[in-house]
């Protein structure tokens, strides 16, 4: 088995008194798509923010591409190939669509020249092409989500962290977002997906962890988790 | 039938194009605990912010004990007897636990400048506050800085401070977020203790055990609309609610989705 | 020399407290130098031109500044943070330019003839204001103000009319600065616009920040140190200003909270608690 | 002559604009105010004095001013701003930069004394000029206007087209989102201070060139006015600062022309207070659509 892309051991992180992540351990191998599911307030978003070093690790160890990641500034991890699409998508509203993509492209050396990569993205997301010189803030919620996901297309990352892609989207756009994520998965991209929408997450990911009150209470193959009835118990109590 | 404590009548709240609260109508009856559930971004917290005066209402009306409080100034709503807690705990961290509770004393918040003349450690004020701290099991930490409190105690301090404002309606915004089983069980006990002091409670929660044990009636919200209403059992077993919570199965979205 | 130093320190303590009073409610004012100027001139007009006693001059000064504080304060309080800072700087600049251009008060050349302030007046005022602030620190009002400073919205939700409180304190602060201004003009015998440049307001805020904003003793401490520091560096001779600047920058760097970082709690439990966890 | 006054107004406005743009950049990216900006502006003038004293053609002072001011800007960023990134840190940072400003004034006065110092460049520079349509146009004024406008256009291009400009606008919007996109926020902050300080020094140099002397006490007055201009134009909005600066320069020239004299001073402040009260984010600033703060 090749070396895992991401290894997390007994991670503790949180905001001041609120210890949202209390000892999580997980791993992700190259090309794998893994989901982290759980009710709101379970610590999913905090986990991702800790993995991309937006939050300090109070305890535990994280290794990205085999090298220790704890303590490195967030932009170092980004330059080593970790792309974190945060809750609320993290698009730069006052910059043009094209500029948002240019910044995502410049993160690390790319195999393709920018214009070529841009045309490839606009082929997949024609609407972004039509609006490329508009400010990202003027896009609709769904379009901003597409712009956020397009960042993983213009210069594919080694690991994609996606935080609640379905948040605030209409059902139609949720379907579209998951279709894009499925294309990324099928193209061999390693993805760690945090999602409250359990069914969609488990249908996309091969494996999943269930988080409850900052701790991993269940993990396993998506099929097995889907089948087990008590999965719902963790949600509806 | 006595007059409801709180009436929310077709209230609307918009942020730019997004309609966060879409003409919600609900009421809290005398001595009732109303639960509000719904997935992330459903507009639950926005609704509480509207009732407590943190947000301005864009449409509809809010009545508290028969009196119209729509878009009333924040401090006027507070003085009428609506108190609340916050999802991300907003206690006064550089003040002691006792000071946090005494700061909410309605005698002084109503006439701040006059309180200059009173002694800060007036026996009556201190005893009143200490009684509340004992009630919430925080008496031992009275002189400790609120900033240093462990998570569960910080939540209880926020409730003690809300009660110190002598409210008749208490709004709780996901009080159990980030709490483990034991802390949640104790929180449920604390809420039951508070009930006799209050005419109504509104509880926003994701922890369904809490909803079942505290809420007399439950409302489910999604995309700013009321999706279901009834007893805890009815609402939590409603297929529509389960789908909103667990998300839509890819293939079975054939039926035209009402939320469009 | 010592007398002069003591006098200036006394004025600076009163001015520092005038900024502290406003800062108590979470509003920072860079206009207190201007309020001092208003006080100095108004008191001067009342005593010299109208021939009334010093007390009347000081009272008029305080009332005038409070009125201007009310007029400028209410709209200004609608702004927040950096904007509020800028509006008060703007106010200071307008007053500074104004007093330079009003012939009645001598314009750029200034105005003279005021006298009557003694060291007793100054330190009498310091004592009175100090007692009042001590009473405030141990009153419920201190808790309300700390709450407003820490989370204005939550304080509002608990029933505190925050804007009213901020406006009231803005006027009290302005009045105190003007009172000190009145004393100042009757000590200096002669005043001119360049005594009250915007830079005065900046320095007064520096006293408060340096001394520590969380405690009534912070501002006087800051005022005393920053008034005496230049004298201390006199032996450094011509490098006084540089050393003074470096000292301030270093102090701010290492004592971010200011020299008096801790709050005086407004209430302590008399009987000590049995349970160990409380201590 | 009205036309001549208008030229003077534009020249003065150009200098206001350059300082105001510097404030806008720092405020836009850092959400903080720097009080050392005024002294870096003053230092610009003395770079002109030094260059002339070395006998070099005075245009060499521009690159010198940019480098020296840029380094001063980095020092201010490190000493006064690096450590104070807490929300209520902006007051302490502003005062710390004020203290650094005091040191700058004192050091300059140690070398050149407290009185204004003349630039020893041939007087002919001031008299040379042309009279077109009956208006007396001194070369020096046209040169200053030209240089300043060129810098402003160049800056606008850099902000809008270059990578540094894109990164500055990204960090100005959100440091977190920028970090996740691989932008080194600390590096961009330093670049911003360098550029802002360089602009201020060039403005100071222009003032010294126009007047023929450098003055160590010119900083505070000019800077406070530029601060007002930035607020009027829109906090953190470079375009606003440019237009605001030129407009105020012309208005003051007109006020002087119709000998309103001193009241032109109050004009700027009155306008600022009015604009801030009506529209806190200034004329061009984006009204940060913050809901009633929850």
The pLDDT tens digits for C58-94 are: 999 999 999 999 888 877 777 776 777 778 888 888 8
Number of domains in chain B: 1
Within chain A, residue ranges assigned H as helices are 44-51, 74-79, 97-106, 114-124, 126-130, 141-154, 171-186, 198-204, 222-227, 233-236
In a domain, B15, yes or no: yes
Residue appearing with tokens 């304060």: C73
| Domain enclosing residue B61, as ranges | 1-31+41-80+205-255
Q: Does D173 touch chain A (CB under 8 A)?
A: yes
From the candidates B52, B69, B95, which should be mutated to test the interface with C, based on the most C CB atoms within 10 A?
Answer: B95
| pLDDT band, very low/low/confident/very high, at A227 (cuts 50, 70, 90) | confident
Taking CA–CA distances from B42, the nearest residue in chain A reads: A168
Query: Which two tokens mark A73?
Result: 């500034």
Question: How many angstroms separate the CA of residue B116 from the nearest CA in chain C?
Answer: 5
* C198/D220 CB distance under 8 A: yes
Q: Using an 8 Å Cβ cutoff, are B3 and B31 in contact? A: no
The pLDDT of B1-29, averaged and rounded, is 88
The pLDDT score that the predictor gives to residue D261 is 63
Question: How many angstroms separate the CA of residue A111 from the nearest CA in chain B?
Answer: 34
Question: How many angstroms separate the CA of residue A10 from the nearest CA in chain D?
Answer: 24
Q: How many C-beta neighbours within 10 Å does residue B1 have?
A: 5
Closest CA to B122 of C134, C132, C279, C266: C266
**pLDDT higher for D217 or B171?**
B171
Distances (CA, A) of C263 to B150, B217, C217, D217: 21, 45, 10, 39
Query: Which two tokens mark D169?
Result: 């606008």
B259 has a pLDDT exceeding 70: no
The complex scores an ipTM of 0.79
* B55/D289 CB distance under 8 A: no
In a domain, D249, yes or no: no
* D177/A151 CB distance under 8 A: no
In a domain, B230, yes or no: yes
Q: Does D181 touch chain A (CB under 8 A)?
A: yes
* B18/A168 CB distance under 8 A: yes
Number of domains in chain D: 1
* A236/B245 CB distance under 8 A: yes
| Distance separating alpha carbons of residues A43 and A216, to the nearest angstrom | 10
In a domain, D256, yes or no: no
The pLDDT score that the predictor gives to residue C16 is 96
The pLDDT of C221-234, averaged and rounded, is 86
Closest CA to B51 of B71, B36, B76: B71
In a domain, D260, yes or no: no
Q: For chain D, what's the residue count?
A: 294
Chain A residues lying within 8 Å of D286, measured CB to CB: 94
Q: Can you list the residues of chain D whose pLDDT is less than 50?
A: 287-294
In a domain, B90, yes or no: no
In a domain, B73, yes or no: yes
B25 has a pLDDT exceeding 60: yes
B-D contacts at Cβ under 8 angstroms: 9
* D262/C202 CB distance under 8 A: no
From the candidates A41, A137, A185, A231, which should be mutated to test the interface with B, based on the most B CB atoms within 10 A?
Answer: A41
The pLDDT of A11-15, averaged and rounded, is 85
A231 has a pLDDT exceeding 70: no
| Distance separating alpha carbons of residues A164 and A37, to the nearest angstrom | 10
| pLDDT band, very low/low/confident/very high, at B260 (cuts 50, 70, 90) | very low
In a domain, B109, yes or no: no
Within 8 A by CB and 6+ apart from C124, the residues are none
pLDDT tens digit sequence for C168-188: 999 999 999 999 999 999 998
pTM: 0.83
- DSSP-assigned beta bridge partners for residue A67: A64
The pLDDT of B121-133, averaged and rounded, is 91
Q: Does D286 touch chain A (CB under 8 A)?
A: yes
In a domain, D235, yes or no: no
Q: What subunits make at least 3 CB pairs under 8 angstroms with B?
A: A, C, D
Chain C residues lying within 8 Å of D273, measured CB to CB: 76, 87, 90-91, 94
pLDDT tens digit sequence for D157-201: 998 899 999 999 999 888 899 999 999 999 999 999 999 999 999
In a domain, D161, yes or no: yes
Q: Does B14 touch chain A (CB under 8 A)?
A: no
The pLDDT of C83-110, averaged and rounded, is 82
In a domain, B54, yes or no: yes
**pLDDT higher for B15 or B166?**
B166
pLDDT tens digit sequence for A35-82: 998 876 678 888 999 999 988 888 899 999 989 988 889 999 999 999
In a domain, D247, yes or no: no
Q: Using an 8 Å Cβ cutoff, are B27 and B61 in contact? A: no
Chain B residues lying within 8 Å of A198, measured CB to CB: 246-247
* D289/B16 CB distance under 8 A: yes
In a domain, D236, yes or no: no
Lowest mean per-residue pLDDT among A60-74, A221-235, C102-116, D167-181: A221-235
The pLDDT score that the predictor gives to residue C58 is 93
The pLDDT score that the predictor gives to residue A234 is 55
In a domain, B163, yes or no: no
B247 has a pLDDT exceeding 60: no
Closest CA to D89 of B222, C82, C128: C82
Question: How many angstroms separate the CA of residue C146 from the nearest CA in chain B?
Answer: 8
The pLDDT score that the predictor gives to residue C165 is 92
Chain A residues lying within 8 Å of B45, measured CB to CB: none
Query: Which two tokens mark D286?
Result: 């984006």
The pLDDT score that the predictor gives to residue C267 is 80
**Residue B69 maps to which CATH number?**
3.40.50.300
Indicate the residue of B83, B84, B120 with minimum beta-carbon distance to C267. Answer: B120
Q: Does B92 touch chain C (CB under 8 A)?
A: yes
A236 has a pLDDT exceeding 50: no
| Domain enclosing residue D173, as ranges | 2-217
* A-D interface (Cβ pairs under 8 Å ≥ 3): yes
In a domain, B17, yes or no: yes
The pLDDT of C150-163, averaged and rounded, is 93
* A198/B174 CB distance under 8 A: no
Question: How many angstroms separate the CA of residue C23 from the nearest CA in chain B?
Answer: 16
Question: How many angstroms separate the CA of residue A82 from the nearest CA in chain D?
Answer: 9
Per-position DSSP letters for D80-122, written without gaps between them: IITT--STTHHHHHHHHHHHHHHHHHHHHHHHH-SS-EE--S-
In a domain, D284, yes or no: no
């Amino acid at each position: 088995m090749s070396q895992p892309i991401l290894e997390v051991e007994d991670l503790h992180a949180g905001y001041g008194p609120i210890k949202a992540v209390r000892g999580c351990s997980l791993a992700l191998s190259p090309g794998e798509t893994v989901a982290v599911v759980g009710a709101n307030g379970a610590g999913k978003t905090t986990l991702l923010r800790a993995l991309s070093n937006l939050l300090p690790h109070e305890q535990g160890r994280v290794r990205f591409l085999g090298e220790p990641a704890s303590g490195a500034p967030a932009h170092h991890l980004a330059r080593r190939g970790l792309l974190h699409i945060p809750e609320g998508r993290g698009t730069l509203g006052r910059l043009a669509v094209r500029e948002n993509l240019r910044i995502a492209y410049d993160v690390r050396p790319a195999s393709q020249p920018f214009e070529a990569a841009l045309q490839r993205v606009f082929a997949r997301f024609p609407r972004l092409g039509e609006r490329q010189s508009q400010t990202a803030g003027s896009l609709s919620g769904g379009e901003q989500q597409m712009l956020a996901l397009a960042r993983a297309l213009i210069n594919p990352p080694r690991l994609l962290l996606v935080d609640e892609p379905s948040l605030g989207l209409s059902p139609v756009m949720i379907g579209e977002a998951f279709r894009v994520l499925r294309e990324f998965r099928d193209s061999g991209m390693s993805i760690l997906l945090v999602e409250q929408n359990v069914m969609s997450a488990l249908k996309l990911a091969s494996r999943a962890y269930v988080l409850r009150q900052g701790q991993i209470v269940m993990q396993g193959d998506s099929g097995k988790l889907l089948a087990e009835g008590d999965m719902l118990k963790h949600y509806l109590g | 039938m006595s007059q409801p404590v709180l009436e929310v009548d077709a209230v609307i709240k918009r942020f730019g194009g997004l309609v966060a609260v879409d003409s919600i109508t609900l009421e809290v009856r005398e001595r009732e605990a109303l639960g509000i559930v719904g997935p992330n971004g459903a507009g639950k917290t926005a609704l509480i912010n509207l009732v407590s005066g943190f947000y301005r209402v864009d449409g509809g009306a809010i009545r508290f004990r028969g009196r119209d409080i729509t878009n009333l100034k924040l401090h006027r709503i507070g003085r009428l007897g609506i108190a609340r807690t916050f999802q991300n705990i907003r206690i006064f961290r550089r003040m002691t636990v006792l000071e946090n509770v005494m700061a909410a004393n309605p005698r002084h918040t109503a006439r701040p400048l006059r309180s200059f003349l009173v002694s800060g450690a007036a026996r009556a004020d201190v005893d009143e506050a200490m009684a509340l701290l004992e009630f919430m099991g925080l008496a031992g930490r009275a002189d400790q800085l609120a900033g240093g409190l462990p998570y569960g105690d910080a939540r209880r301090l926020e409730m003690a401070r809300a009660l110190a404002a002598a409210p008749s309606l208490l709004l709780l915004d996901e009080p159990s977020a980030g709490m483990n089983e034991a802390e949640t069980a104790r929180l449920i006990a604390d809420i039951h203790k508070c009930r006799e002091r209050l005419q109504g409670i509104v509880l926003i929660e994701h922890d369904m055990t809490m909803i079942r044990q505290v809420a007399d009636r439950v409302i489910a919200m999604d995309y700013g609309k009321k999706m279901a209403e009834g007893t805890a059992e009815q609402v939590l077993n409603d297929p529509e609610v389960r789908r909103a919570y667990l998300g839509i199965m890819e293939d079975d979205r054939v039926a035209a989705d009402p939320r469009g | 020399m010592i007398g002069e130093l003591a006098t200036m320190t006394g004025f600076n303590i009163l001015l520092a407290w005038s900024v502290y009073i406003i800062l108590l409610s979470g509003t920072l004012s860079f206009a207190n130098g201007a309020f001092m100027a208003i006080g100095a001139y108004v008191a001067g007009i009342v005593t010299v031109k109208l021939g009334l006693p010093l007390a009347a001059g000081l009272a008029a000064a305080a009332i005038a500044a409070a009125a201007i504080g009310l007029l400028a304060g209410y709209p200004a309080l609608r702004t927040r943070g950096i904007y509020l800072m800028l509006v008060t700087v703007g106010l200071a600049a307008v007053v500074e330019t104004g007093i330079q251009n009003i012939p009645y008060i001598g314009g750029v050349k200034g105005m003279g003839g005021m006298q009557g302030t003694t060291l007793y007046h100054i330190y009498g005022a310091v004592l009175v204001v100090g007692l009042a602030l001590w009473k405030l620190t141990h009153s419920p009002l201190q808790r309300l103000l700390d709450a407003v400073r820490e989370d204005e919205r939550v304080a509002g939700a608990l029933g505190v009319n925050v804007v009213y409180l901020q406006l009231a304190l803005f006027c009290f602060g302005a009045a105190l600065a003007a009172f000190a201004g009145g004393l100042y003009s009757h000590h200096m015998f002669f005043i001119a616009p360049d005594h009250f440049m915007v830079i005065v307001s900046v320095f007064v805020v520096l006293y408060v920040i340096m001394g520590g904003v969380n405690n009534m003793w912070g501002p006087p401490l800051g005022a005393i140190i920053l008034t005496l520091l230049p004298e201390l560096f006199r032996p450094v001779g011509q490098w006084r200003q540089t050393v003074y600047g470096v000292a301030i920058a270093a102090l701010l760097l290492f004592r971010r909270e200011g020299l008096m970082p801790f709050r005086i709690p407004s209430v302590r439990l008399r009987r000590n608690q049995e349970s160990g966890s409380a201590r | 002559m009205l036309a001549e006054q208008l030229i003077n107004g534009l020249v003065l406005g150009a200098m206001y604009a350059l300082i105001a743009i510097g404030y806008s950049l720092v405020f836009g990216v850092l959400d903080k105010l720097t009080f050392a900006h005024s002294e870096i502006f003053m230092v610009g003038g003395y770079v002109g004095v030094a260059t002339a004293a070395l006998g070099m053609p005075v245009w060499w002072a521009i690159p010198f001013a940019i480098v020296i001011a840029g380094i001063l800007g980095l020092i201010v960023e490190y000493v006064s701003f690096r450590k104070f990134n807490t929300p209520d840190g902006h007051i302490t940072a502003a005062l710390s930069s004020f203290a650094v400003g005091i040191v700058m004034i004192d050091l300059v006065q140690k070398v050149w004394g407290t009185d204004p110092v003349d630039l020893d460049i041939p007087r002919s520079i001031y008299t040379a000029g042309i009279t077109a349509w009956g208006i007396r146009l001194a070369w020096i004024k046209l040169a200053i206007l030209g240089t300043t406008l060129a810098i402003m256009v160049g800056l606008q291009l850099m902000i809008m087209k270059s990578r540094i400009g894109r990164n500055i606008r990204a960090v100005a919007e959100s440091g977190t989102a920028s970090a996740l996109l691989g932008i080194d926020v600390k590096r961009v902050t330093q670049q911003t201070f360098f550029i802002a300080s360089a602009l201020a020094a060039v403005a100071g140099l222009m003032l010294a060139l126009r007047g023929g002397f450098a003055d160590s006490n010119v900083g505070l007055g000019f800077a406070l006015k530029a601060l007002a201009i930035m607020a009027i134009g829109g906090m953190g909005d470079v375009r606003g600062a440019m237009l605001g600066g030129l407009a105020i320069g012309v208005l003051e020239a007109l006020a002087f022309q119709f000998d309103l004299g001193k009241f032109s001073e109050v004009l700027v402040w009155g306008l600022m207070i009015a604009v801030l009260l009506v529209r806190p984010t200034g004329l061009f600033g984006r009204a940060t659509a913050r809901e009633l703060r929850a």
